[in-house]
Amino acid sequence: MSALPRAHGGPVGQGLLRASPEDFQVREVMTVVPEGQGEHLWLHLRKRGLNTADLALALARLARLPLRAVGYSGLKDRVAVTDQWFSLHLPGKADPQLDDLPEGVTLLAAARHSRKLNRGTHRANRFELVIRDLEADPALLQQRLDAVAAQGVPNYFGEQRFGRHGDNFSRARDWLLGQGEAPRKPALRSLWLSAVRSELFNQVLAERVRQSCWNRLLAGDILQPEGRRGLFPADEDAEAEARVNAGEVHPTAPMPGAAGMASSGACAALEDTVLAPHAALIGALAQHKVDGARRATRLPVQDFSWQLPEEAGPGILRLGMTLPAGAFATTVLAELLTFRNT
């Protein structure tokens, strides 16, 4: 995977990210509230130093349940402090004892609900981030922060989507093309397939960034209203260009798989040029019954706030932002600075 082009220019400085998990805090913004009764026990947990999959496995063992009986809405980072909901399916069973939660996990709330917590249930994530050892020209940094607040950023999938060592795409590609070993577990299969679709999406979006149309209408675009999942052809809306410019709707790019809603015109030509070398890989996705979909190319950064060093402290930048579920804070940070991790 090559470096992705940035919409607002190169980074304007550098800093240290995740000096401690407390410097990367995430809170799920939910639209569903547990009803207080039902077969599923919903747990609001604060975790530190664990990823979502590891905590789900620990909860299954604690409650003596199969892993499939544990639900969660989204995957969260290990090197972070995150407030996240989980569910346990307990038909006809009492609530388990929760005194032995893993180290670094705190119970914030517990309530029964009639349904399992499924992926994508939460609406957004709220991030509170601290960058230390900041080295940046204050005027340039202020300009970049203002640009991101006003225009958003390209909605790239972040590095987390591609595995701890960044090799999920290459391993999945080799498997799908019959040149490597298959994933050993269903969960790994899902991650690999997701990595392939995410990488191909990123490649199409990168070309739109190069052509300065990641946030502009192309003839034949498929559009997505802000905050909604529905899609519609731009050609059906006489006001499409004005609505894109106003941020009411966003252009989209393909998440390849079996045939889905297709673009046309200039948009289709751009997508076909990027994806043509990957025809065999996309065919393999379809054979594995992966449905085609589309994802917005523009990521608005809601409730974006910052404290520069004169307010936050010497060499410190504090950022707050709300992003829709499935978006990555690291894609916003990449438009600002380059980072070192501890």
Map tokens 């010497």 to a residue. 314
- For residue 22, which of 3, 55, 48, 4 has the smallest C-alpha distance? 48
Strand partners, 112: 41
Return the SS3 of 78.
coil
Catalytically annotated residue among 77, 133, 237, 291: 77
**CA dist., res. 250 & res. 208, Å (int):** 13
**CA dist., res. 309 & res. 49, Å (int):** 27
**CA dist., res. 19 & res. 325, Å (int):** 25
272 is catalytic: no
**CA dist., res. 241 & res. 243, Å (int):** 5
- For residue 27, which of 99, 94, 66, 77 has the smallest C-alpha distance? 77
**CA dist., res. 108 & res. 92, Å (int):** 24
For 165-197, the DSSP string reads: TS-HHHHHHHHHTTSSPPPSSHHHHHHHHHHHH
Q: Are 55 and 111 in contact (CB under 8 A)?
A: no
301 vs 293, 305, 335, CA distance in Å? 23, 10, 12
Residues carrying an active site annotation: 77
